Amino acid sequence: MSKRVKGDVELDIAHETLQVVAADRTDASTSRIHREMVFFGYFIGLVAGVLLFGFWLTIPVFLVIFLRLHERENWRFVLALTGAAWLIVYSIFDRLLSIILHQGFITEYFIEPLFPD
């Protein structure tokens, strides 16, 4: 129940209810920070993967890791989406636009000795 006192509304709320609401706000902000840190980690991992291993290896590996571990999708969906994404990137950038994507700093040293020009 509520009472009207000098223009202010006074609500009868149990002290325990206020503590639960305050605890929920703290958990929500902690959860939000945790989610942002996780996505920031994925972003840094993607950039580092592209720099070290190039686009052709990083895109499928990143998609498999993200879809399987973070989104918890089944393997059939993960492999189908990864294959489709790789095929689209290959078709557009390599075949249609003839753009040479970054090969990666590490893979460059392994590919050159195996496949000399």
Percent of the chain with pLDDT over 70: 74
16-59 pLDDT tens trace? 555 555 555 556 667 889 999 999 999 999 999 999 999 999 99
**pLDDT exceeds cutoff 80 at 72:** yes
Q: Are 60 and 88 in contact (CB under 8 A)?
A: no
Read off the tokens for 29: 């902000």
What's the predicted TM-score (pTM) here? 0.67
**pLDDT exceeds cutoff 90 at 61:** yes
Read off the tokens for 51: 């720099």
82-116 pLDDT tens trace? 999 999 999 999 999 999 998 899 987 887 777 77
Amino acid at 82: T
